[in-house]
Chains A and B, each alone.
Chain A
Amino acid sequence: MFDYIISYYNYWMYAGLMMIGFYGMMAKRNLIKKIIGMNVFQSSIIFFYISSSVKRGGVTVPIIKHVAGAHGSHGVDVMQYANPLPHVLMLTAIVVMVATLGVALAVAILIYRRYHTLEEDEIILCMRKG
């Protein structure tokens, strides 16, 4: 049972973070709070991908230290290094996350200029009045 929990708890961690972000996106009425919830949500997905690149048993960062022979598998022991492919994909995802944050904040500033509030229910009241 303890072994089972050790092998699977990272998935439960990312599920919990995703639930926190999702609740923030749906239940909070302030627009900045919704954007913060979106940030937590995206971070949880990046956490899931990065945790799928971990290998147990003395792995190091994916930087090749020394190459002994230049033939065959080029002298690299694959089991010593972490999986580099999720790192590359998540580098792209982090930068896209900040771009999404910038556009969302720009739209929030526009909404504030027009309705002079950031609360969702007051914005809906203003829209119904005119």
Chain B
Amino acid sequence: MILPFDLILVLFVYICAVAALTTRDLLSAVMILGAYSYFMCLLWTEMAAVDVAFTEASVSAGIGTILCIGAISKTKRRSND
């Protein structure tokens, strides 16, 4: 556990969370959510939880983003807020 690295990663996680919730284009919001999952994965590698980082990178950032893109392709891309 390295303190400056931890603080920088947490800052990126916060920026990605706020950007994913405020973007009006839903496809870019989902892409930013994938970036959020990858920063979470880096944060957990840094906290010595490598198995959780594997699972996050494959399941949450991979399959979750694919599911969201499929849902958006079936529905609308624009959002009002």
Contact = CB atoms under 8 A, between A and B. Distances in A.
- B contact face: mostly helix, strand, loop, or mixed: helix
B35 interface: no
Contact of B76 (A39, A59, A102, A118): A118
Nearest to A81: B48
Interface residues of B, number: 41
B36 A32 contact: no
A123 interface: no
Interface string A64-85: 0000000000000000001000
A118 B4 CA distance: 41
A36 B81 contact: no
A95 B20 CA distance: 21
10 contacts: A33-B79, A37-B21, A43-B37, A47-B43, A50-B49, A53-B48, A54-B1, A59-B48, A82-B47, A108-B71
Given A32-B68, A53-B48, 15 more contacts: A13-B10, A16-B14, A17-B14, A36-B29, A36-B30, A39-B33, A43-B60, A54-B48, A61-B50, A62-B48, A82-B49, A86-B49, A97-B60, A105-B68, A112-B74
Interface of A: 6, 13, 16-17, 20-21, 23-24, 28-30, 32-33, 35-37, 39-40, 43, 46-47, 50-51, 53-54, 56, 59-62, 82, 86-87, 90-91, 94-95, 97-98, 101-102, 105-106, 108-109, 112, 117-119
